[in-house]
C-alpha cells in the first residue's frame, strides 16, 4: 500500500489545532501577505490590538506627526525640558541613589536630547533622510566614544 503524504492536508490540520488553541482565525499568523487580499483582516488581531492602535494614534496626535507644532506645543516642550533639567539638578544631591545616579542622569539627558532633536529640530515632522543622516553620525560618534573608553579608560 502506497502512503501518500498530502502536505496541504497536514498543514490544515495543524492550523486547525492552533485555531482551537487560540480561539480565532489564524490568518495573520500563518499566511505570508503577498497581496492586499492576503493581509490579515482585521489588521491586528492580537488581544491587545485595540489598546495598541489607540495608544499609537494618541501618541501620533500628541506629537503632531502629521504637521508642525503650534507655539503652545513648543512652549509645553520647553517647559518639560526645563522640568527635566530641574529633576537632574535635584537627583544629583540625592546620595541614597548610589550607582543608580549615572544611568538615571543618562536616561534623562537622552530624553532631553530626543525631544530637542525631534520637535525643535523638526525631525519628527521632516523628511526621513535627515533623520538617517544625523542618526548615522550620532551613532558612529557614540560607538567610537564607547570603544575609546573601553580601550583606554578601563584598567585591566
Partner 1 sequence: MSETNIDTHQTSTSTGVDNRKLLMWLFLGSDCLFFGSFISTYLVYRNRSLSGPYPNEILDIPITTVSTFVLLMSSLAMVLGLNYVKEGRQVIGRYWTLATALLGMVFLGFQVYEFTHFAHAGLTPRTNIFGTTFFTMTGFHGGHVTFGVIWLLIFAGSSLANTIRQRLLILSAFLSVVVTMIGFFMTETLDVIPHMPFAVTLAFILLGSLGTVLSLFMLRTPDAPSSVISNQESNLEIAGLYWHFVDIVWIVIFTVVYLISANDGAPLL
Only one residue has cell 520637535, namely: 119
147 CA to centre of own chain: 26
Q: Which of 92, 96, 97, 100 binds partner 1 (CB under 8 A)?
A: 92
Whichever of 22 and 135 has its CB closer to partner 1, that residue is: 135
Q: Which of 32, 43, 66, 89 binds partner 1 (CB under 8 A)?
A: 89
Nearest approach, Cβ of 85 to partner 1 (angstroms)? 6
CA-angle at 30, arms to 47 and 7, nearest 5°: 145
When asked if residue 85 is in the footprint of partner 1 (CB under 8 A), the reply is yes
**8 Å CB contact between 49 and 91:** no
When asked if residue 78 is in the footprint of partner 1 (CB under 8 A), the reply is yes
Site string for partner 1, 97-126 (x = CB under 8 A): ----xx--xx-xx--xx--xx-xxxx----
Contacts of 38 (CB under 8 A, 6+ apart): 31, 32
Amino acid at each position: 500500500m502506497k502512503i501518500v503524504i498530502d502536505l496541504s492536508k497536514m498543514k490544515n490540520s495543524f492550523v486547525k489545532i492552533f485555531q482551537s488553541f487560540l480561539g480565532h482565525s489564524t490568518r495573520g499568523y500563518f499566511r505570508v501577505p503577498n497581496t492586499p487580499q492576503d493581509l490579515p483582516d482585521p489588521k491586528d488581531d492580537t488581544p491587545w490590538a485595540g489598546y495598541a492602535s489607540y495608544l499609537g494614534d494618541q501618541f501620533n496626535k500628541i506629537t503632531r506627526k502629521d504637521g508642525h507644532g503650534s507655539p503652545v506645543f513648543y512652549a509645553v516642550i520647553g517647559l518639560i525640558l526645563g522640568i527635566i533639567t530641574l529633576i537632574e539638578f535635584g537627583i544629583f544631591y540625592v546620595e541614597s541613589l548610589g550607582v543608580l545616579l549615572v544611568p538615571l542622569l543618562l536616561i534623562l539627558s537622552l530624553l532631553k536630547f530626543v525631544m530637542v532633536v525631534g520637535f525643535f529640530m523638526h525631525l519628527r515632522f521632516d523628511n526621513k533622510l535627515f533623520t538617517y543622516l544625523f542618526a548615522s553620525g550620532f551613532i558612529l560618534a557614540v560607538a567610537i566614544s564607547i570603544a575609546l573608553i573601553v580601550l583606554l579608560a578601563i584598567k585591566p
